[in-house]
Every structure is written in structure tokens, then in C-alpha cells.
């Protein structure tokens, strides 16, 4: 399947594994790349920019296909030296960056001077328009269904994707709620040039997280996620568990007086890291999208990518073409 995204990034399939804190490491990113899709190392999973450089080098040893690095710029509990991470990416020779959280404008000169293509993750039409204006090569349009940070507008993909298609001319990827062949065909029909999947790639053999987390996602249905952090205007969609329940309780109790300090102990990414390493799914907050309702197994990345692409081709050639009388 050739789309503007496969052409832009030199990849075989219009499927992307976007940034995921604690998950986007060499094992997963190289498996995604070797499957003909595009994977992203998550910069902030590495404790320092030097560690990020090493992780990029480690990934290179595991694949000769293109891959990228995600740089998420959101409020954090501890200060992050974003400039240094951006510099490490530019010096690494990686040619694709996914930015998220805030406009990538301040980093564009560094990335462009290094010949890097930038794809910015956006949760609204206005952010996509801005991303195009500041020179991004593509955007990843993240609907309300998504894991992690859906923004504050709560617009699902079915509306957000075609609204975006009407307003930008650069290629874009549909993100949030995608996990199978039906989603890929729907995304293409809505004007996107491919799909981004996070949660679905967490449930693969190569994802470097504890099997209990993968199994919890397989066992979950579409109602098993919850929003946190709304009052602080940094809404996050996470897997419903006891810590997420505790966060909700505090949010209700504090109401408009809520401060990040009230939640920090529970929200901390360090607790989420331990969930992924040790497999106690109730130990901390961890991101998951509504697509958990569509995840029923733990395939390899190659199996997953291949069945999505072949399934999509079949839907187009048989079901859709059949509706217009054009089926072979």
C-alpha cells in the first residue's frame, strides 16, 4: 500500500508505532522497523541525552530500516533538558522525529539543519494547521480515543480526522483507536495517509514490558480506560486500576483547588515504569487507549503488521469494491 506517508518516510506499510513512555525502546522499535512499519524510540524513557544516543545506536544494530525518535514536551514532575535531547537526536543521524505536547517551533531549526523530517502529534485542527505553518513535514492526528494525552477538546477521530483533512495539505496519520485492518481502511477513507498505533504495539511479543500488562490489555474491554488530570489541563487517558481510582478520588475531593502536588505521588511516571518492569498492573498509572477493546492477542510485530495490511487490502478489494460492483 503506497501513501504519502510511505513515500515521505521510505517505509513499506502505512503503519506507525508512536512514542510511548517506557515502551519505545530498541527491542520494539527495531521489530516494528523490520516488519516494514515505522517505530519511534521515546526520548524521555532514557534518563539522559547520552543514554538516548546509546539507545539509538543499539536500535541501529538491530535494524537497517528507518526509525525515528519521539520527543514529548509536556509538564513533568522534574525538569527535562529538552534542548540537550533535541541536540542528541540531531547528532545521532536519525532522520525522523515525532514531536508532541507543545509546538515544535523552537526545535525546528535544529532538526531542519540536521535534515530531519518532523511529524508533530496534534489533538486539534488548529494545532495541525500551526504545525504545517511552522514547517512540519506531516502530522499525527490524535483523537479523543487515544492513550496518553488526548488534549482538552474531546473530539473523537471520526470528526477530527476529516476536519483536519479539510484544513491541511501535508500528509497526516490517524492516531487514537487504531488496532486492526478495519481501522486502517477507515483512516484512509477519512483522508489520512496511515495509522499510528500505541496500545496495539504494547501487546506484541517484542514490546519490552511485563507480560501481565499485555494480558491485562487483552482481558480489558473498551470501557477499561479513564481520564485523569483534567482540572490541570493536562488530561491523560490511562488504564483503569486502583491507582487511577485513587487519583479520581483526590480530583473529586479537591475540585477547583487541585494542585499537581496532590496527585504527584500517584501520577509519577516512576511508578508506571515499575508496572511495566515488574508486572503489578495496580502499582501506578500507565497509559492505554480505548482500543484495548479491540486487542485480543499478543502477536509478533511482523504478524500484526502483515495481518493489518492484508486485512485492509481484502476489505478494500472485496467488501468495499463489492458495494460499488467493482470487485474482481
The answer to whether 19 contacts ligand NAD (rule: CB under 6 A) is yes
Instruction: Write the DSSP assignment of 156-191 as a string of letters.
Output: -HHHHHHHHHTT--S-EEEESS--SHHHHHHHHHTT
Judged by CB under 6 A, which of 20, 32, 33, 308 binds ligand NAD? 20
Q: Which residue is nearest to ligand NAD (CB)?
A: 269
Q: How far is the CB of 78 from ligand NAD (least distance, A)?
A: 6
Determine the Cα–Cα distance for residues 322 and 47; give it in Å rounded to an integer: 52
The answer to whether 157 contacts ligand NAD (rule: CB under 6 A) is no
Q: How far is the CB of 115 from ligand NAD (least distance, A)?
A: 26
The answer to whether 159 contacts ligand NAD (rule: CB under 6 A) is no
Instruction: Show contacts with ligand NAD in window 35-54 (CB under 6 A).
Output: 44
Query: Smaller CB distance to ligand NAD: residue 3 or 234?
Result: 234
The answer to whether 148 contacts ligand NAD (rule: CB under 6 A) is yes
The answer to whether 236 contacts ligand NAD (rule: CB under 6 A) is yes
Q: At what angle do helices 260-267 and 242-254 cross, to 10 degrees?
A: 180
Query: Smaller CB distance to ligand NAD: residue 39 or 148?
Result: 148
Determine the Cα–Cα distance for residues 319 and 269; give it in Å rounded to an integer: 44
Q: Is residue 14 classed as helix, strand or coil in its secondary structure?
A: coil
The answer to whether 260 contacts ligand NAD (rule: CB under 6 A) is yes
Judged by CB under 6 A, which of 116, 172, 287, 304 binds ligand NAD? 287
Q: Which residues contact 165 (CB under 8 A, 6 or more apart)?
A: 172, 190, 191, 192
Show the CA angle centred on residue 16, arms to residues 15 and 17, nearest 5°. Answer: 135
Determine the Cα–Cα distance for residues 73 and 158; give it in Å rounded to an integer: 26
Kind of pairing between the strands at 225-228 and 195-196: unpaired
Which cell numbers in the block locate residue 11? 517505509
The answer to whether 272 contacts ligand NAD (rule: CB under 6 A) is yes
The answer to whether 99 contacts ligand NAD (rule: CB under 6 A) is no
Stretch that binds ligand NAD, among 75-83, 116-124, 168-176, 293-301 (CB under 6 A): 75-83
Determine the Cα–Cα distance for residues 150 and 201; give it in Å rounded to an integer: 18
Determine the Cα–Cα distance for residues 10 and 34; give it in Å rounded to an integer: 13
The answer to whether 17 contacts ligand NAD (rule: CB under 6 A) is no
Judged by CB under 6 A, which of 229, 231, 235, 241 binds ligand NAD? 229
> Count residues contacting ligand NAD (CB under 6 A)?
22
Instruction: Write the DSSP assignment of 122-136 as a string of letters.
Output: ESSHHHHHHHHHTT-
The answer to whether 267 contacts ligand NAD (rule: CB under 6 A) is yes
Which residue, among 1, 11, 88, 76, has the nearest Cα to 52 in the 3D structure?
Answer: 88
Q: How far is the CB of 318 from ligand NAD (least distance, A)?
A: 35
Binding site residues, ligand NAD, CB under 6 A = 19-21, 44, 72, 74-77, 101, 147-148, 229, 232, 234, 236, 260, 267-269, 272, 287
Amino acid at each position: 500500500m503506497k501513501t504519502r506517508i510511505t513515500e515521505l518516510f521510505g517505509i513499506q506499510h502505512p503503519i506507525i508505532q508512536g512514542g510511548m513512555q517506557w515502551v519505545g525502546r530498541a527491542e520494539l522499535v527495531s521489530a516494528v522497523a523490520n516488519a516494514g512499519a515505522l517505530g519511534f524510540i521515546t526520548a524521555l524513557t532514557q534518563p539522559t541525552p547520552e543514554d538516548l544516543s546509546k539507545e539509538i545506536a543499539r536500535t541501529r544494530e538491530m535494524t537497517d530500516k528507518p526509525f525515528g525518535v519521539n520527543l514529548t514536551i509536556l509538564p513533568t514532575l522534574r525538569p527535562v533538558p529538552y534542548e540537550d535531547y533535541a541536540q542528541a537526536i540531531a547528532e545521532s543521524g536519525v532522520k525522523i522525529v515525532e514531536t508532541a505536547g507543545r509546538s515544535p517551533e523552537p526545535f525546528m531549526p535544529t532538526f531542519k539543519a540536521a535534515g530531519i523530517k518532523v511529524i508533530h502529534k496534534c489533538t486539534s485542527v488548529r494545532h495541525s494547521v500551526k504545525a504545517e505553518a511552522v514547517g512540519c513535514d506531516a502530522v499525527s492526528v490524535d483523537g479523543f480515543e487515544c492513550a496518553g494525552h488526548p488534549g482538552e477538546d474531546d473530539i473523537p477521530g471520526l470528526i477530527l480526522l476529516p476536519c483536519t483533512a479539510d484544513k491541511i495539505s501535508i500528509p497526516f496519520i490517524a492516531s487514537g483507536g487504531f488496532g486492526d485492518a478495519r481501522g486502517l481502511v477507515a483512516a484512509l477513507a477519512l483522508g489520512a495517509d496511515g495509522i499510528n498505533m500505541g496500545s496495539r504495539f504494547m501487546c506484541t511479543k517484542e514490546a519490552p514490558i511485563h507480560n501481565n500488562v499485555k494480558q491485562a490489555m487483552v482481558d480489558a474491554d473498551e470501557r477499561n480506560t479513564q481520564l485523569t488530570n483534567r482540572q490541570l489541563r493536562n488530561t491523560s487517558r490511562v488504564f483503569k486500576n486502583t491507582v487511577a481510582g485513587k487519583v479520581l478520588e483526590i480530583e473529586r475531593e479537591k475540585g477547583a483547588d487541585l494542585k499537581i502536588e496532590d496527585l504527584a505521588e500517584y501520577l509519577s511516571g516512576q511508578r508506571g515504569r515499575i508496572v511495566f518492569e515488574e508486572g503489578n498492573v495496580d502499582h501506578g498509572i500507565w497509559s492505554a487507549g480505548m482500543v484495548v477493546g479491540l486487542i485480543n492477542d499478543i502477536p509478533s510485530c511482523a504478524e500484526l503488521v502483515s495481518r493489518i495490511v492484508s486485512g485492509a487490502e481484502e476489505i478494500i478489494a472485496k467488501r468495499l469494491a463489492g458495494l460499488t460492483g467493482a470487485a474482481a
